[in-house]
């Protein structure tokens, strides 16, 4: 069952003591522990619930077209944003990891933090229902929705438009290196424009590494 500190953490998170402690424990359990149940099924569910809550929120909050709403939605439900929220609430110290995963820095891995954040949303949905879970998400994501997350043009789109506007070849992305264990993988990606130059960046996912590389390229050459 849940340790006392973790139970208190979840009570604060959900706004009430956790119902079905075994399910919440599952949401906090990484596959490296060898436990019979880990967070993956709840992560799958939580990802969809989070998307629905944020989509409804943006629909009511903003008057933009579909493209603008989709841009903000994608930014607000990304793995990087989920990991950011997880760090804000101190989730890492409550995640159950195997010895090697813990030694490899799994508690601060973007991939693991983001996945467990979604799993907790899934556990909340199963035990407390949609409205209570939506309230939790709105509280945790309030500053991000009120801020500029997803409002700026995506770095890859900005780079592509810059290249077209300057009559350059389209950007080309390539994987330079993949390192680290599966649960804490790191990807180094390079983006180049023929005849101009190249920039590299490293992140916990290919998508994020490509975005960072594009931003680095624009900073250097744009």
Q: Supply the CATH number for residue 112's domain.
A: 1.10.1520.10
CA angle 70, 43, 148 (to 5 degrees): 35
Give 15's DSSP letter: T
Are 29 and 121 found together in one domain? yes
Residue tagged active-site, from 38, 110, 118, 208: 118
Q: Supply the CATH number for residue 204's domain.
A: 3.30.160.20
Instruction: Give the closest residue to 156 by CA, choosing from 105, 209, 97, 101.
Output: 209
Q: Is 43 one of the annotated active-site residues of the chain?
A: no
Are 66 and 139 found together in one domain? yes
What total number of domains does the chain contain?
2
Q: Tokens for 36, please give them.
A: 């019979």
- Which range of residues forms the domain containing residue 190? 155-221
CA separation for the pair 57, 55 (Å, rounded): 5
Q: Is 47 one of the annotated active-site residues of the chain?
A: yes
* 80, 112, 146 - which closes a domain: 146
Check residue 139 and give its pLDDT. 96
* 101, 121, 146 - which closes a domain: 146
Are 62 and 171 found together in one domain? no
Tens digit of pLDDT per residue, the chain (222 long)? 788 899 999 999 999 999 899 999 999 999 999 999 999 999 999 999 999 999 999 999 988 788 778 888 988 998 889 999 999 999 999 999 999 998 888 898 989 999 999 999 999 999 999 999 999 999 999 999 988 665 556 788 778 878 887 788 899 999 999 998 877 889 999 999 998 999 999 988 888 899 899 989 988 887
CA angle 147, 117, 138 (to 5 degrees): 40
Are 140 and 159 found together in one domain? no
Q: Estimate to the nearest angstrom the gap between the alpha carbon of 85 and the chain centroid.
A: 8
Q: Tokens for 110, please give them.
A: 């973007």
CA separation for the pair 150, 13 (Å, rounded): 25
Are 186 and 137 found together in one domain? no
Residue tagged active-site, from 47, 110, 115, 208: 47
Are 24 and 129 found together in one domain? yes
């Amino acid at each position: 069952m849940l340790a006392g500190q973790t139970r208190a953490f979840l009570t604060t998170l959900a706004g009430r003591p956790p119902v079905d402690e075994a399910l919440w424990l599952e949401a906090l359990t990484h596959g490296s522990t060898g436990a019979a149940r880990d967070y993956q099924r709840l992560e799958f569910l939580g990802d969809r619930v989070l998307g629905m809550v944020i989509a409804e929120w943006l629909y009511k909050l903003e008057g933009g077209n579909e493209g603008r709403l989709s841009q903000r939605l994608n930014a607000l439900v990304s793995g990087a944003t989920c990991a950011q929220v997880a760090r804000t609430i101190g989730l890492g110290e409550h995640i159950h990891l195997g010895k090697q995963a813990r030694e490899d820095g799994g508690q601060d891995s973007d991939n693991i933090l983001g996945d467990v954040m979604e799993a907790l949303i899934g556990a909340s949905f199963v035990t407390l229902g949609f409205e209570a879970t939506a309230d939790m998400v709105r509280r945790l994501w309030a500053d991000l929705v009120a801020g500029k997350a997803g409002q700026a043009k995506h770095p890859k789109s900005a780079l592509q438009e810059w290249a077209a506007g300057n009559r350059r070849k389209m950007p080309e992305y390539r994987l330079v290196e993949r390192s680290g264990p599966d649960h804490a993988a790191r990807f180094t990606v390079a983006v180049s424009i023929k005849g101009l130059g190249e920039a590299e960046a490293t992140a916990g996912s290919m998508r994020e590494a490509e975005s960072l590389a594009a931003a680095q390229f624009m900073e250097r050459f744009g």
